[in-house]
Amino acid sequence: MSLVSYEVKDHIATVRLNRPKMRNALNPEMIVRLADAWASIREDNDVRVAILTGVEGSFCSGADLGELIPLLSGAKEPKDEWGQKIQEDRKLISKALLRDFDTETPVIAAIGGHAIAGGMEILQGCDIRVAIPDVKLGVQEVKWAIVPGGGSTVRMPRQMPYAKAMELLLTGDTISSQEALELGFLNYVVPAEQLMSKAMAIAETIAGNGPLAVKAIRASARACLGLPEKEALRLETKYAMPVLATKDAREGPRAFKEKRKPVYRGE
Protein backbone atom coordinates (compact mmCIF):
# COMPACT_ATOMS: atom_id res chain seq x y z
CA MET A 1 0.00 0.00 0.00
CA SER A 2 1.16 3.52 -0.79
CA LEU A 3 2.31 5.73 2.09
CA VAL A 4 -0.88 7.71 1.42
CA SER A 5 -3.83 5.82 -0.03
CA TYR A 6 -6.82 7.44 -1.70
CA GLU A 7 -10.14 5.90 -2.67
CA VAL A 8 -13.62 7.13 -3.50
CA LYS A 9 -16.86 5.24 -2.92
CA ASP A 10 -20.43 6.55 -2.88
CA HIS A 11 -19.28 10.19 -3.04
CA ILE A 12 -16.97 9.73 -0.03
CA ALA A 13 -13.19 9.98 -0.41
CA THR A 14 -11.02 8.22 2.17
CA VAL A 15 -7.42 9.31 2.62
CA ARG A 16 -5.25 7.01 4.77
CA LEU A 17 -1.79 7.74 6.11
CA ASN A 18 0.22 4.53 5.97
CA ARG A 19 3.55 4.76 7.73
CA PRO A 20 2.58 3.27 11.11
CA LYS A 21 6.07 2.17 12.20
CA MET A 22 7.03 5.85 12.15
CA ARG A 23 3.69 6.93 13.65
CA ASN A 24 2.88 8.43 10.27
CA ALA A 25 5.64 11.03 10.54
CA LEU A 26 5.46 13.03 7.33
CA ASN A 27 8.40 12.41 5.04
CA PRO A 28 8.76 14.01 1.57
CA GLU A 29 6.86 11.24 -0.21
CA MET A 30 3.90 11.52 2.18
CA ILE A 31 3.82 15.30 1.78
CA VAL A 32 3.65 15.07 -2.01
CA ARG A 33 1.09 12.26 -2.03
CA LEU A 34 -1.09 14.00 0.56
CA ALA A 35 -1.02 17.24 -1.39
CA ASP A 36 -2.02 15.28 -4.51
CA ALA A 37 -4.91 13.66 -2.63
CA TRP A 38 -6.33 17.02 -1.55
CA ALA A 39 -6.06 18.30 -5.12
CA SER A 40 -7.91 15.21 -6.39
CA ILE A 41 -10.70 15.80 -3.89
CA ARG A 42 -11.18 19.38 -5.00
CA GLU A 43 -11.11 18.49 -8.69
CA ASP A 44 -13.50 15.51 -8.49
CA ASN A 45 -17.11 16.67 -8.59
CA ASP A 46 -18.20 13.19 -7.54
CA VAL A 47 -16.58 13.68 -4.11
CA ARG A 48 -18.93 15.30 -1.62
CA VAL A 49 -17.04 14.68 1.62
CA ALA A 50 -13.66 13.25 2.65
CA ILE A 51 -12.32 11.29 5.61
CA LEU A 52 -8.69 11.54 6.73
CA THR A 53 -7.35 8.77 8.94
CA GLY A 54 -4.34 6.56 9.63
CA VAL A 55 -3.77 2.81 9.68
CA GLU A 56 -2.99 0.45 12.57
CA GLY A 57 -4.02 2.78 15.37
CA SER A 58 -1.95 5.74 14.25
CA PHE A 59 -2.75 9.23 13.02
CA CYS A 60 0.19 11.61 12.52
CA SER A 61 3.18 12.56 14.68
CA GLY A 62 4.10 15.53 12.49
CA ALA A 63 7.07 16.10 10.22
CA ASP A 64 9.83 13.53 10.04
CA LEU A 65 12.62 15.31 11.91
CA GLY A 66 15.23 13.16 10.21
CA GLU A 67 14.04 13.61 6.64
CA LEU A 68 11.72 16.56 6.08
CA ILE A 69 13.07 19.18 8.50
CA PRO A 70 16.76 18.83 7.38
CA LEU A 71 15.56 19.17 3.79
CA LEU A 72 13.74 22.40 4.62
CA SER A 73 16.62 23.85 6.61
CA GLY A 74 19.13 23.03 3.90
CA ALA A 75 21.03 20.60 6.12
CA LYS A 76 20.37 17.83 3.59
CA GLU A 77 20.04 17.65 -0.16
CA PRO A 78 17.08 15.79 -1.73
CA LYS A 79 17.75 12.07 -1.87
CA ASP A 80 14.90 11.13 -4.20
CA GLU A 81 12.20 12.48 -6.49
CA TRP A 82 9.94 13.36 -3.56
CA GLY A 83 12.52 15.56 -1.88
CA GLN A 84 13.28 17.15 -5.23
CA LYS A 85 9.62 18.02 -5.75
CA ILE A 86 9.43 19.69 -2.35
CA GLN A 87 12.64 21.62 -2.96
CA GLU A 88 11.17 22.87 -6.22
CA ASP A 89 7.79 23.72 -4.68
CA ARG A 90 7.77 24.47 -0.94
CA LYS A 91 4.03 25.20 -1.14
CA LEU A 92 3.44 21.44 -1.25
CA ILE A 93 3.97 21.32 2.52
CA SER A 94 1.32 23.95 3.24
CA LYS A 95 -0.97 22.19 0.79
CA ALA A 96 -0.50 18.84 2.52
CA LEU A 97 -1.24 20.42 5.91
CA LEU A 98 -4.36 22.15 4.53
CA ARG A 99 -2.82 25.51 5.42
CA ASP A 100 -2.91 27.37 2.09
CA PHE A 101 -5.14 24.98 0.19
CA ASP A 102 -8.91 24.61 0.38
CA THR A 103 -10.43 21.30 -0.68
CA GLU A 104 -13.78 23.14 -1.06
CA THR A 105 -15.20 19.89 0.33
CA PRO A 106 -15.84 19.01 3.99
CA VAL A 107 -13.07 16.94 5.58
CA ILE A 108 -13.68 14.67 8.57
CA ALA A 109 -10.68 13.60 10.66
CA ALA A 110 -10.87 10.10 12.17
CA ILE A 111 -8.11 10.24 14.77
CA GLY A 112 -6.96 6.79 15.83
CA GLY A 113 -3.62 7.82 17.32
CA HIS A 114 -1.63 10.79 18.57
CA ALA A 115 -1.90 14.02 16.55
CA ILE A 116 1.28 15.95 17.27
CA ALA A 117 2.90 18.95 15.55
CA GLY A 118 2.00 18.70 11.84
CA GLY A 119 -0.61 16.08 12.73
CA MET A 120 -2.35 18.61 14.96
CA GLU A 121 -2.03 21.24 12.24
CA ILE A 122 -3.77 19.02 9.69
CA LEU A 123 -6.65 18.65 12.16
CA GLN A 124 -7.08 22.41 12.26
CA GLY A 125 -7.72 22.35 8.52
CA CYS A 126 -10.43 19.69 8.89
CA ASP A 127 -14.07 20.54 9.53
CA ILE A 128 -15.23 17.71 11.81
CA ARG A 129 -13.06 15.65 14.17
CA VAL A 130 -13.67 12.25 15.76
CA ALA A 131 -11.06 10.64 18.02
CA ILE A 132 -10.56 7.62 20.23
CA PRO A 133 -9.81 7.87 23.97
CA ASP A 134 -6.28 8.30 25.28
CA VAL A 135 -4.74 10.00 22.26
CA LYS A 136 -2.64 13.11 22.69
CA LEU A 137 -2.95 16.32 20.68
CA GLY A 138 -0.62 19.29 20.57
CA VAL A 139 2.06 21.29 18.80
CA GLN A 140 5.51 20.69 20.30
CA GLU A 141 7.61 22.64 17.79
CA VAL A 142 8.57 25.28 20.36
CA LYS A 143 10.47 22.60 22.31
CA TRP A 144 12.73 22.17 19.27
CA ALA A 145 13.10 25.92 18.62
CA ILE A 146 10.73 25.74 15.64
CA VAL A 147 7.57 27.78 14.98
CA PRO A 148 4.42 25.71 14.28
CA GLY A 149 3.93 27.50 11.00
CA GLY A 150 1.36 25.15 9.54
CA GLY A 151 -1.42 27.46 10.67
CA SER A 152 -1.42 26.83 14.43
CA THR A 153 -0.65 30.36 15.63
CA VAL A 154 -3.67 31.56 13.64
CA ARG A 155 -6.14 28.69 13.91
CA MET A 156 -5.70 27.35 17.42
CA PRO A 157 -6.71 30.62 19.16
CA ARG A 158 -9.83 30.62 16.97
CA GLN A 159 -10.74 26.96 17.43
CA MET A 160 -10.37 26.70 21.22
CA PRO A 161 -10.30 29.22 24.09
CA TYR A 162 -7.49 31.74 23.56
CA ALA A 163 -5.76 31.18 26.90
CA LYS A 164 -5.64 27.40 26.42
CA ALA A 165 -4.41 27.75 22.86
CA MET A 166 -1.60 30.03 23.98
CA GLU A 167 -0.64 27.64 26.76
CA LEU A 168 -0.30 24.79 24.28
CA LEU A 169 1.55 26.90 21.71
CA LEU A 170 4.06 28.34 24.17
CA THR A 171 4.71 25.30 26.36
CA GLY A 172 4.58 22.61 23.70
CA ASP A 173 2.46 20.50 26.06
CA THR A 174 -0.24 18.13 24.82
CA ILE A 175 -3.83 17.52 25.84
CA SER A 176 -5.90 14.34 25.88
CA SER A 177 -8.72 13.68 23.46
CA GLN A 178 -11.16 14.04 26.35
CA GLU A 179 -9.87 17.51 27.20
CA ALA A 180 -9.92 18.45 23.51
CA LEU A 181 -13.57 17.35 23.43
CA GLU A 182 -14.39 19.49 26.45
CA LEU A 183 -12.68 22.47 24.79
CA GLY A 184 -14.84 21.99 21.70
CA PHE A 185 -11.88 21.12 19.47
CA LEU A 186 -13.24 17.62 18.87
CA ASN A 187 -16.79 16.63 17.96
CA TYR A 188 -16.76 13.12 19.41
CA VAL A 189 -14.59 10.69 21.36
CA VAL A 190 -15.60 7.10 20.68
CA PRO A 191 -14.18 3.62 21.34
CA ALA A 192 -11.51 2.57 18.85
CA GLU A 193 -13.72 -0.06 17.24
CA GLN A 194 -16.34 2.63 16.49
CA LEU A 195 -13.99 5.27 15.07
CA MET A 196 -14.44 4.65 11.36
CA SER A 197 -18.11 3.76 11.62
CA LYS A 198 -18.79 7.07 13.40
CA ALA A 199 -16.78 9.06 10.86
CA MET A 200 -18.46 7.21 8.00
CA ALA A 201 -21.94 7.81 9.44
CA ILE A 202 -21.27 11.55 9.52
CA ALA A 203 -19.82 11.42 6.01
CA GLU A 204 -22.83 9.54 4.67
CA THR A 205 -25.21 12.11 6.14
CA ILE A 206 -23.27 14.95 4.54
CA ALA A 207 -22.98 13.11 1.22
CA GLY A 208 -26.76 12.66 1.20
CA ASN A 209 -27.38 16.39 1.41
CA GLY A 210 -27.41 18.82 -1.50
CA PRO A 211 -23.73 18.98 -2.56
CA LEU A 212 -23.88 22.55 -3.83
CA ALA A 213 -25.55 23.68 -0.61
CA VAL A 214 -22.92 21.84 1.46
CA LYS A 215 -20.08 23.55 -0.39
CA ALA A 216 -21.73 26.97 -0.12
CA ILE A 217 -22.42 26.57 3.60
CA ARG A 218 -18.84 25.51 4.29
CA ALA A 219 -17.41 28.30 2.15
CA SER A 220 -19.61 30.92 3.79
CA ALA A 221 -18.82 29.76 7.33
CA ARG A 222 -15.08 29.87 6.64
CA ALA A 223 -15.12 33.17 4.78
CA CYS A 224 -17.30 34.93 7.35
CA LEU A 225 -15.33 33.78 10.39
CA GLY A 226 -14.14 36.83 12.33
CA LEU A 227 -15.85 39.40 10.09
CA PRO A 228 -18.18 42.08 11.50
CA GLU A 229 -21.77 40.82 11.48
CA LYS A 230 -23.12 43.14 8.78
CA GLU A 231 -20.24 42.38 6.43
CA ALA A 232 -20.55 38.65 7.12
CA LEU A 233 -24.29 38.66 6.42
CA ARG A 234 -23.76 40.38 3.08
CA LEU A 235 -21.14 37.79 2.19
CA GLU A 236 -23.43 34.96 3.25
CA THR A 237 -26.04 36.19 0.77
CA LYS A 238 -23.49 35.99 -2.04
CA TYR A 239 -22.94 32.31 -1.26
CA ALA A 240 -26.59 31.45 -0.63
CA MET A 241 -28.40 33.08 -3.54
CA PRO A 242 -26.76 31.17 -6.43
CA VAL A 243 -27.71 27.87 -4.80
CA LEU A 244 -31.40 28.81 -4.90
CA ALA A 245 -31.23 28.88 -8.69
CA THR A 246 -29.96 25.28 -9.01
CA LYS A 247 -31.85 22.15 -10.00
CA ASP A 248 -30.96 20.60 -6.64
CA ALA A 249 -32.71 23.45 -4.83
CA ARG A 250 -35.88 22.57 -6.72
CA GLU A 251 -35.43 18.84 -6.18
CA GLY A 252 -35.09 19.12 -2.40
CA PRO A 253 -38.46 20.76 -1.63
CA ARG A 254 -40.16 18.62 -4.30
CA ALA A 255 -38.87 15.43 -2.69
CA PHE A 256 -40.00 16.65 0.73
CA LYS A 257 -43.48 17.34 -0.60
CA GLU A 258 -43.62 13.95 -2.33
CA LYS A 259 -42.30 12.20 0.82
CA ARG A 260 -39.36 10.57 -0.92
CA LYS A 261 -35.58 10.69 -0.74
CA PRO A 262 -34.17 13.50 -2.88
CA VAL A 263 -31.83 12.71 -5.77
CA TYR A 264 -29.15 15.37 -5.92
CA ARG A 265 -26.91 15.73 -8.96
CA GLY A 266 -24.89 18.77 -8.05
CA GLU A 267 -26.65 20.87 -10.66
Q: 78: pLDDT confidence band, cut at 50, 70 and 90?
A: confident
d(Cα 18, Cα 3) in Å, to the nearest integer? 5
Residue 203: partners with Cβ closer than 8 Å, 6 or more residues away: 12, 49, 50, 51, 108
Instruction: Report the amino acid identity of residue 114.
Output: H
pTM: 0.95
Predicted pLDDT of residue 77: 81
Share of the chain above pLDDT 70, in %: 100
| Ordered domains of the chain (ranges, CATH) | 4-207 (3.90.226.10), 211-257 (1.10.12)
141 catalytic? Reply is yes
Catalytic one of 141, 182, 258, 267: 141
121 catalytic? Reply is yes
Catalytic one of 121, 229, 236, 251: 121
Task: Please report, for residues 20, 38, 182, 256, the alpha-carbon distance to residue 185 in angstroms, rounded to integers and kept in the order given.
Answer: 24, 22, 8, 34
- Convert the pLDDT of each residue in 2-17 to its tens digit: 999 999 999 999 999 9
Predicted pLDDT of residue 3: 96
Mean pLDDT across the chain, nearest whole number?
Answer: 95
Q: Are the C-beta atoms of residues 23 and 58 closer than 8 Å to each other?
A: yes
